[in-house]
Structures are given as structure tokens and as C-alpha cells.
């Protein structure tokens, strides 16, 4: 059934029909669409726009449609134009005349704006739950690895020693910010557009605040033109998801490196790895690679929706129908990546000995050797130069700073004493970095307690 056949004299072209229809993808909205209609009809009856009998008939019809779709006895008609037309037609087929009053004081423009908001609100909660699980998994790794040493890198060159807890703490902070971005978006988008009509409200005495409260919105939107034209929250969500994916992708890149034969810092569980069809020895980090790969797809959505919106005059235009497949794909992709990445992390094994050995070579304690001199009164810039000479001499001999004899140390600077070895040991290098935010196990232990509290909500 067409909702708008009246002013037309012939059927539309079959291709136009197909091009215009959104039922293949907006049928996802059937729950939200029915929920919105139930609230709308409840409000119409409260305002005396529908009789109580009409309300009862419509509500029973809508609830029946919902139940039948859920239990599989009613299939969404693929030849309907969209989910809104489908539900209305199904209602009229079931209850007759009263069903024709469902659309009083409403347009598909405010209806689709509502459906999308209800849908996205639930998806924000789902994303939030997945990020929380990821954060819990990271926190568990932090608590278990406060003293698991590893090299910290800059320019992918060994820089200074850190711990696995500290490195993972960095990702905890990133995903925590992602989580707070989601809650910001939810706060801003939680206003109800229903009752905005096509664009200019309606002449019926609607109680829009009542409808908003029935649907758990904070309030009704304030401008009917904005209500049907606003897709900002989708753009905000895409931007937040793009950022999450960027974090996941960076993390994936590290896991891929750490899992390589060259690093061997970690081993992925068999359940989260895949093999090669030709090379029997292979165990590949495909999950991490796919997460890294899918990041581009989510970025694409952000740019697509921004571009779709940029030239649209007020108020509703059909261009906006394009938002659906894009946002659905981005949300599904991000949720899938979060879930799989969490599973992969939860089962990862750290090769503690290899990480420790790696943290000990590559002169990661050179800064500490310079700090030793500073603590003995040498200005930092001079200390930097002295240790630079030491490193050069070590490189020539193919040894590390720990392996250099005290005589050699003293030949470059007489300030060095026997306690230099203790001062540049891996343990000292990490344990002494107790400043707020540093890797020392004592400092990280306190931070982990804060993390625990932050996850109580």
C-alpha cells in the first residue's frame, strides 16, 4: 500500500520504486517504529484527538504486529516502501478504520527522525557495554603485569623501559575517553522529535513533552525544522566510532608487531589466530589485521555522512535516507571489532622473559646513567654528552652499559662509582619513575585502583 497514491495518476516506474525504497534496510527499525507509534497514539488519546476505543484498538493491533514479527509469523513485506508504510498498512489490514488514524499529527519525517534516535540510543548503550568489557580486560592485564618489564619506544626505537601495565594503561585512558564521548553524545541527542510533523509542527493540540516522557527522552525538541533535519548526532557518533577504531587499530598494529617472529613479545591464542593454506608453520594475527583494516571503513562513513549533509537545504530531503546503511554498517563494524578485540586480548600470553631481555638491551638505561651524573652534581647537558660517549664506546665493543667495567666508566667521567650498576639496573630504572603517570609499579598500582573505581559505573 502506498501512503501517497491520491495525487498520482499512474504507477511509478519499477526502477524508481526500487531506487526510492528503504525497506530492505530500514526494517531494522520495526521495534522503534512500533514503540514510537504506541507513544504517539497514547498521547493522541490523552489529548482527546483519538477516542479511548480507537486507542485500545490501535495499541492491540501494534502490539500484535510486533509480537508476530518477533515470533516469525509476520514477515516484513519487501515490496513496501519503508518500515513506516509497512507497519501502517499491516495495522489497517488488521484493525480496519481505526488504523487509518495512526498517522494523525505526524509525518514520516519526524517518524524516521524518532526511529533513528531510538535506535542509536540503544546502540550507544551497546557500544558502551562493549567498551566497558574491553576496559575490564585491559585492567585485568594491568593488575597482573605491574612488574612485567618491556621496552618503551619512540620512533619505534627502544627508548626507556616501562611495564606492560603502564603500556596498557595508555590504552585504558584512550578507551575511557571514548566511553565518555559516547555518554556526551547520548546527553545531547536525547530529545524527542516526534510532533515536529513534516517540518512545521501541526495544528492538532499535541502534548509533545508527554510523548517525549513516554519514550524516555529528556525533553521534546524545540524547533520543528531542526527536528526533522538534524543528523548531527550521527556525525558525532561516527566521529566517536572513528576515534575508537583508530585506537583499536593502533593497538592492533602493536599486537601484530609483538606477535611477529622478530619481537615474540606475545602469543595469540589459537582460537584468535588463523593459518595459511600453503605454509603449515603459520599462525597469523588476522583478527588484529581485520580490525586495523576495518578502521578505514568506519572513517569512510564519517566522511560520507558529513558530505551528504553539507549541501542539504532545510528541512527534510530524501538525501538523508542515505544515513541509514552507512550508520548501520559503522555501528555493526565497530561493535564487532570491539567484541573480537576484547576476546583476543583476554586470551593473549606475554612472553615475560623475552620482553624483559628486550627492555635490557638497546641502551634503554642511558637516560638513567645521565640522571646518575646529574644526582652527583653534573649539569644535565654535560651528563648527556658523557653518556653519549659511553654508548659509543659500548657500541664499538658490542656490549651494554651494564657490561662496561668501572675503569672504563671512570676513564670517561671520574664521577662514576660502583653504585652506577645498581642505578642503571632495569628494576631501578622502572621503580624510580614514580612521578604521577609514570611506570613505577608503586605508581601504577595506585592508578589501577582509580581505574577500578572508574569502572563501577
Between 3 and 92, CB nearer to ligand ARG: 3
Contacts to ligand ARG from residues 300-339, by CB under 6 A: 316, 318, 320-321, 324
Q: Binding to ligand ARG by residue 109, rule CB under 6 A? A: yes
**Residue with the CB atom nearest ligand ARG in the bound state:** 321
Which of 123, 122, 86 is CA-nearest to residue 3?
86
Cβ 81 to ligand ARG shortest distance, Å: 7
How far apart are alpha carbons 76 and 80 in whole angstroms?
A: 8
CB of 2 vs ligand ARG, minimal distance in Å: 11
End-to-end CA distance of the chain: 47
330 vs 52: CA distance, rounded Å: 42
Nearer to ligand ARG, 122 or 144 (CB): 122
With binding defined as CB under 6 A, does residue 230 bind ligand ARG? Answer: no
Least separation in angstroms between residue 16's CB and ligand ARG is 13
Q: Does residue 349 sit in helix, strand or coil?
A: strand
- Give the closest residue to 319 by CA, choosing from 332, 310, 329: 310
282: which residues sit within 8 A by CB, 6+ positions away?
Answer: 275, 276
267 sits in which H/E element: strand 266-267
- Closer residue to ligand ARG in complex, CB, 108/158: 108
Between 54 and 110, CB nearer to ligand ARG: 110
Task: Compute the distance between CA of residue 258 and CA of residue 173 in angstroms, rounded to an integer.
Answer: 21
376 is an active site residue: no
Q: How far apart are CA 8 and CA 10, in angstroms?
A: 6
Three cell numbers, residue 205: 493540540
CB of 113 to ligand ARG, least distance (A): 9
Closest CA to 163 of 450, 438, 401, 369: 438
Give the C-alpha separation, 410 to 80, whole Å: 87
Alpha-helix runs per DSSP H in 347-431 = 352-360, 366-375, 380-397, 406-412, 420-423, 426-431
Sites for ligand ARG among residues 29-88 (CB under 6 A):
82
Span from 49-57, 108-116, 119-127, 132-140 in contact with ligand ARG (CB under 6 A): 108-116
CA distance 311 to 375: 63
Q: Which is nearer to ligand ARG, 26 or 371 (CB)?
A: 26
User: Would you count residue 130 as binding ligand ARG (CB under 6 A)?
Assistant: no
CB-count exposure of residue 320 (10 Å: 0-12, 13-18, 19+): buried
DSSP 144-184: HTTT-EEEEEETTEEEEEEEHHHHHHHHHHHHHHHHHHHHH
Smallest separation (angstroms) from ligand ARG to the CB of 21: 8
In whole angstroms, give the CA distance from residue 75 to residue 65.
Answer: 10
Residue 268 CB, nearest distance to ligand ARG (Å)?
42
Find the binding residues for ligand ARG in span 5-24 (CB under 6 A): 22
If binding means CB under 6 A, how many residues of this protein chain bind ligand ARG?
11
* Minimal distance, residue 264 CB to ligand ARG, in Å: 51
Which of left, alpha, beta for 348 (phi over 0: left; psi -120 to 50: alpha)?
beta
Helix (DSSP H) and strand (DSSP E) numbers for the chain: 19, 6
Nearest-approach distance from CB 107 to ligand ARG, in angstroms = 7
Which range binds ligand ARG by CB under 6 A, 105-113, 204-212, 262-270, 286-294? 105-113
**Catalytic residue status for 155:** yes
Which CB atom, from 45 or from 235, has the smaller least distance to ligand ARG?
Answer: 235
Compute CA 124 distance to the chain's CA centroid, rounded to the nearest angstrom: 9
For ligand ARG, give the closer residue by CB, 27 or 273.
27
Q: Which of 24, 79, 180, 276 is catalytic?
A: 276
Least separation, in Å, of the C-beta of 313 and ligand ARG? Answer: 14
User: Which residue, 316 or 451, is less far from ligand ARG as judged by CB?
Assistant: 316
Closer of 26 and 368 to ligand ARG (Cβ): 26
Q: Which of 108, 121, 181, 231 binds ligand ARG (CB under 6 A)?
A: 108
Q: Write the interaction track for ligand ARG spanning residues 140-169; mark x where CB under 6 A is met and - where it is not.
A: ------------------------------
Q: Catalytic positions, please?
A: 155, 276
Could you list the residues that contact ligand ARG (CB under 6 A)? 22, 26, 82, 108-109, 112, 316, 318, 320-321, 324
Amino acid at each position: 500500500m502506498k501512503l501517497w497514491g491520491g495525487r498520482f495518476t499512474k504507477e511509478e516506474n519499477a526502477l524508481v520504486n526500487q531506487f526510492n525504497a528503504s525497506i530492505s534496510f530500514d526494517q531494522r527499525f520495526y521495534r522503534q517504529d512500533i514503540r514510537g507509534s504506541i507513544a504517539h497514539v497514547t498521547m493522541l488519546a490523552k489529548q482527546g484527538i483519538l477516542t479511548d476505543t480507537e486507542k485500545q484498538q490501535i495499541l492491540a493491533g501494534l502490539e500484535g504486529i510486533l509480537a508476530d514479527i518477533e515470533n516469525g509469523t509476520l514477515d516484513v513485506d519487501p515490496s513496501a516502501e519503508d518500515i513506516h508504510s509497512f507497519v501502517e498498512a499491516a495495522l489497517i489490514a488488521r484493525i480496519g478504520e481505526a488504523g487509518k488514524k495512526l498517522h494523525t499529527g505526524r509525518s514520516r519525517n519526524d517518524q524516521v527522525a524518532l526511529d533513528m534516535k531510538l535506535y542509536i540510543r540503544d546502540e550507544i548503550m551497546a557500544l558502551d557495554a562493549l567498551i566497558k568489557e574491553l576496559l575490564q580486560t585491559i585492567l585485568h592485564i594491568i593488575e597482573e603485569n605491574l612488574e612485567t618489564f618491556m621496552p618503551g619506544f619512540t620512533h619505534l626505537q627502544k627508548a626507556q623501559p616501562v611495564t606492560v601495565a603502564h603500556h596498557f594503561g595508555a590504552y585504558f585512558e584512550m578507551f575511557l575517553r571514548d566511553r565518555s564521548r559516547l555518554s556526551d553524545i547520548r546527553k545531547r541527542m536525547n530529545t524527542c522529535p516526534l510532533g515536529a510533523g513534516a517540518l512545521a509542527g501541526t495544528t492538532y493540540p499535541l502534548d509533545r513533552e508527554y510523548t517525549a516522557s513516554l519514550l524516555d527522552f529528556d525533553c521534546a525538541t524545540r524547533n520543528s525544522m531542526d527536528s526533522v533535519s538534524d543528523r548531527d548526532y550521527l556525525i558525532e557518533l561516527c566521529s566517536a566510532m572513528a576515534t575508537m577504531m583508530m585506537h583499536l587499530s593502533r593497538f592492533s598494529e602493536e599486537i601484530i608487531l609483538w606477535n611477529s617472529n622478530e619481537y615474540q613479545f606475545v602469543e595469540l591464542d589459537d582460537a584468535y589466530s588463523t593459518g595459511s593454506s600453503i605454509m603449515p608453520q603459520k599462525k597469523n594475527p588476522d583478527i588484529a589485521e581485520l580490525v586495523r583494516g576495518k578502521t578505514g571503513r568506519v572513517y569512510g562513513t564519517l566522511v560520507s555522512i558529513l558530505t551528504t549533509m553539507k549541501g542539504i537545504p532545510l528541512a527534510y530531503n530524501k538525501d538523508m535516507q542515505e544515513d541509514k546503511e552507512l550508520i548501520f554498517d559503522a555501528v555493526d563494524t565497530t561493535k564487532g571489532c570491539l567484541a573480537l578485540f576484547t576476546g583476543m586480548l583476554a586470551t593473549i600470553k606475554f612472553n615475560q622473559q623475552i620482553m624483559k631481555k628486550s627492555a635490557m638491551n638497546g641502551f634503554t638505561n642511558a637516560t638513567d646513567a645521565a640522571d646518575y651524573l646529574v644526582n652527583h652534581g653534573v649539569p644535565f647537558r654535560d651528563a648527556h654528552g658523557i653518556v653519549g660517549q659511553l654508548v659509543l664506546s659500548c657500541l664499538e665493543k658490542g656490549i651494554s652499559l651494564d657490561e662496561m667495567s668501572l675503569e672504563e666508566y671512570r676513564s670517561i667521567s671520574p664521577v662514576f662509582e660502583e653504585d652506577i650498576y645498581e642505578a642503571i639496573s632495569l628494576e631501578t630504572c622502572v621503580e624510580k619513575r614514580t612521578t604521577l603517570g609514570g611506570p613505577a609499579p608503586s605508581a601504577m598500582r595506585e592508578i589501577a585502583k582509580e581505574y577500578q573505581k572508574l569502572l563501577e559505573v
